[in-house]
C-alpha cells in the first residue's frame, strides 16, 4: 500500500502545480492586457473541474488494477506449501 500512497501524493502535487501554473499564466496575461485572457480564464475554470476528476479516476483505476497478476503466484506458493 505504501507504493500506492506515493503515487497518490505525486498525482496530487502534479495537479496542484498544473492548476497553479495555469492560473499564474492567466493572471500574468490578464495584467498585460492580452485579448485572449477571457478565453484563458474560461479554460482555467474548466480545468479546475476536469483535472481533479481525471486524477481521481486514475487513482481508482490504479487501485483496481494494483493486485492483478499477483494472484496466480500466491496460489502457486500455497500449493507448494501444502505439498510439503
pLDDT at 79: 65
Please compute the mean of the pLDDT values over residues 62-79 and round it to a whole number: 68
Give the model confidence (pLDDT) of 8-58 as tens digits.
Answer: 788 889 889 988 998 898 889 889 888 888 888 888 889 889 988 988 888
In the predicted structure, residue 68 carries a pLDDT above the cut 80: no
Contact 19, 47 (CB under 8 A): yes
In the predicted structure, residue 71 carries a pLDDT above the cut 70: no
Residue appearing with cell numbers 506458493 = 77
In the predicted structure, residue 81 carries a pLDDT above the cut 80: no
Contact 36, 29 (CB under 8 A): yes
Distance CA 46, CA 54 (A): 12
Tally Cβ neighbours within 10 Å of residue 26.
Answer: 21
**Residue 35 φ then ψ, to 5°:** -70, -15
Amino acid at each position: 500500500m505504501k507504493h500506492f500512497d506515493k503515487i497518490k501524493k505525486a498525482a496530487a502535487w502534479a495537479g496542484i502545480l498544473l492548476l497553479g501554473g495555469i492560473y499564474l499564466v492567466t493572471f500574468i496575461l490578464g495584467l498585460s492586457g492580452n485579448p485572449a485572457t477571457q478565453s484563458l480564464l474560461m479554460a482555467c475554470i474548466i480545468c479546475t473541474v476536469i483535472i481533479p476528476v481525471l486524477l481521481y479516476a486514475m487513482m481508482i483505476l490504479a487501485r483496481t488494477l494494483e493486485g492483478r497478476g499477483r494472484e496466480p503466484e500466491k496460489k502457486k506458493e500455497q500449493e507448494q506449501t501444502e505439498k510439503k
